[in-house]
Each structure stands twice: as C-alpha cells, then as structure tokens.
C-alpha cells in the first residue's frame, strides 16, 4: 500500500492510499484518508504528478533542492518543467522516456518524496543536466 499525494492539472491535491497505482494503467483508485473503503478513480491524463511519499504531512519548512549537489553521481539528472512552470529536480536510471510518462526519484536526499510519476501530458520541458 502506497501513501500517495495526487496533483491534478487543475491544481487540486488529494492524499490517500492506493493498492492499484501503476503507470502502465490509464487510471488508479485512491482510498480516502478518512474512510479507506471510500475511493476515487483518477485518470492519468488528468494529472500533473503522482507523488509516493513517506509521510502525508511532510515538513512544511523544507524546500527541495534546486540542484544536484547531493544527488547520486552515476544516475541521469533530470529537470522537469511542468506546464504550470514548476520544476522538479530528479534522478533516473532510464535513458529514454516512456510514451505515457516516467518515474523520477528526488535529487534531494532529504525530500519527503520517495518517487514521483509524471505523465508526459503535464510536461512542458525535460532537460538532462550534465
């Protein structure tokens, strides 16, 4: 069971648990924090990103690093610019993008995010940092 924070394209954020999240499918269900028997279906093409997190609260004072100074060296360093202008600095072992999207791990080792799935429909630009 994954702790998931879903960011929709319209700016709405939802938190909950998912038993069926996989980037290979066009949708998944998110169980409510208040009532695990109540779930909502999310379609991947309506999402900005799906964050798998350690803790739902996170650290409100922590700002993820905007560079790769603490990121593992042998992996590909990726900067994703979302259509809304926000940037995510991540690392990947993949050398190509999946047609639907891809998974990144945060470049910041202190991040609350374990990994993030980013649908290609939410991306304005992807840069590979040297």
Q: What is the pLDDT of residues 7-19, one digit of tens each?
A: 999 999 999 999 8
Most confident of 7-11, 58-62, 92-96: 7-11
- Structure confidence at residue 30 (pLDDT): 96
Residue 57 CA neighbour count, 13 Å, CB half:
2
pLDDT at 24 exceeding the cut of 80: yes
Mean pLDDT (the chain) is: 85
- Structure confidence at residue 108 (pLDDT): 84
d(CA 7, CA 83): 13
Using left for φ > 0, alpha for ψ between -120 and 50, and beta otherwise, residue 121 falls in: alpha
C-alpha distances in Å from residue 101, one per residue of 73, 89, 117: 23, 16, 7
- Structure confidence at residue 35 (pLDDT): 83
Q: Which strands form 113-119's sheet, in the order they lie side by side? A: 39-43, 27-32, 13-18, 2-8, 47-53, 113-119, 101-106, 87-92, 76-82, 123-129
pLDDT at 79 exceeding the cut of 70: yes
pLDDT at 74 exceeding the cut of 80: no
Residues 15-29, mean pLDDT to the nearest whole number: 92
């Amino acid at each position: 069971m994954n702790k998931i924070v879903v960011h929709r394209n319209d700016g709405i954020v939802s938190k909950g648990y998912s038993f069926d999240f996989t980037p290979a499918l066009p949708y998944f269900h998110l169980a409510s924090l208040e009532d695990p028997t109540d779930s909502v279906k999310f379609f991947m093409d309506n999402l900005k990103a799906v964050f798998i997190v350690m803790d739902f609260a996170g650290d409100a004072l922590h700002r993820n690093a905007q560079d790769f100074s603490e990121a593992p060296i042998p992996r590909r360093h990726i900067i994703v610019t979302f259509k809304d202008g926000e940037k995510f600095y991540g690392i990947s072992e993949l050398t190509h993008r999946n047609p639907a999207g891809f998974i990144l791990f945060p470049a910041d080792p202190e991040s609350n995010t374990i990994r993030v799935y980013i649908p290609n429909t939410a991306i304005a630009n992807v840069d590979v940092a040297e």
